[in-house]
Amino acid sequence: MNTGIIILLAVAVIVYAGFAHRVLDRLRLSDKAALLFLVAMLLGGFLPDIPLVGNISINIGGGLIPLILVGYLFSKADSWEIGRTVLAVLIATAVAYGAIKILPVEPTFNLFIDPLYLIAIIAGLVAYLAGRSRRGAFIAGVMAIILSDLLAFMENTLMGVSAATVIGGAGFFDAVVISGFIALGLAEIFGEAAERFAPLVGAKTRGEAQKGEREKKGEGNEGE
């Protein structure tokens, strides 16, 4: 069983069990909507690819459904979040495409992990660092893989290489899932930590400010 499918099944179980309310609330997704997207991705991966133009087609589970999910999440983004998310997509895509150029796409004995998985992990990490918010990180992680796959196809076309390309197909299905959920997971872990420590930091700052004010008042009284 592919890694992407295993991850989707695991996430579906977590959502169904009700353990993902906090993350879904921040994504502005209901449990039912999340399960619908997850099931659609799972089933779509086994359906025939949809031809687009020439030698390019799109996988339903690894390409079309993730794009629909990204579009939905982007429509729910706050105004301040839109610009940062677009920038995160561009940065993560550039890094993922650069990694594709450097690393061999096919598995080799020289690497301890499938190169596409490594590219997905790198893309997910960069997507989190650039996107920061849970929604922005997930969007950037997914789009980085899809767009880098599309860029590779465009480059091959310009070079006269007529190899068929399936967006979100084959190993890229796993890469889309891995990158998106790594970015989301990091955003949730570190975002949760930041939210928990923010009140403590704020309280400490307020306490120091109040102490400073008291000290100033004490100095003023002594001067009188």
Residue 102: Cβ-neighbour burial (10 angstroms; 0-12, 13-18, 19+): exposed
The confidence band for 100, taking pLDDT boundaries of 50, 70 and 90, is confident
Q: What are the phi and psi torsion angles at 166 (to 5°)? A: -115, 110
For residue 222, the model assigns a pLDDT of 52
Residue with tokens 């991850």: 7
pLDDT tens figures, 119-148: 999 999 999 999 888 999 999 999 999 999
pLDDT cut 90: percent of the chain above it: 56
Indicate the pLDDT class of residue 162, thresholds 50, 70 and 90: confident
Distance CA 91, CA 84 (A): 10
State the average pLDDT over residues 96-106. 82
User: For the purposes of burial, counting CB atoms within 10 Å of the CB of 143, is it exposed (0-12), middle (13-18) or buried (19 or more)?
Assistant: buried
Residue 112 confidence (pLDDT) above 90: no
Mean pLDDT of the chain: 85
Mean of pLDDT values over 173-185? 94
Average pLDDT of the segment spanning 54-70 = 94
Average confidence (pLDDT) over 62-84 = 93
Q: How far apart, in whole angstroms, are the C-alpha atoms of residue 5 and residue 31? A: 19
Question: Structure pTM?
Answer: 0.83
Q: Residue 102 pLDDT more than 60?
A: yes
| Bridge partners, 176 (sequence order) | none
pLDDT value of residue 190: 87
pLDDT of residue 40: 96
Q: What is the pLDDT of residues 14-61, one digit of tens each?
A: 999 988 888 999 899 999 999 999 999 999 999 999 999 888 999 999
Most confident of 36-40, 161-165, 188-192: 36-40
pLDDT at 42: 94
How large is the average pLDDT for residues 148-152?
Answer: 91
For 132, left (φ over 0), alpha (ψ -120 to 50), or beta? left
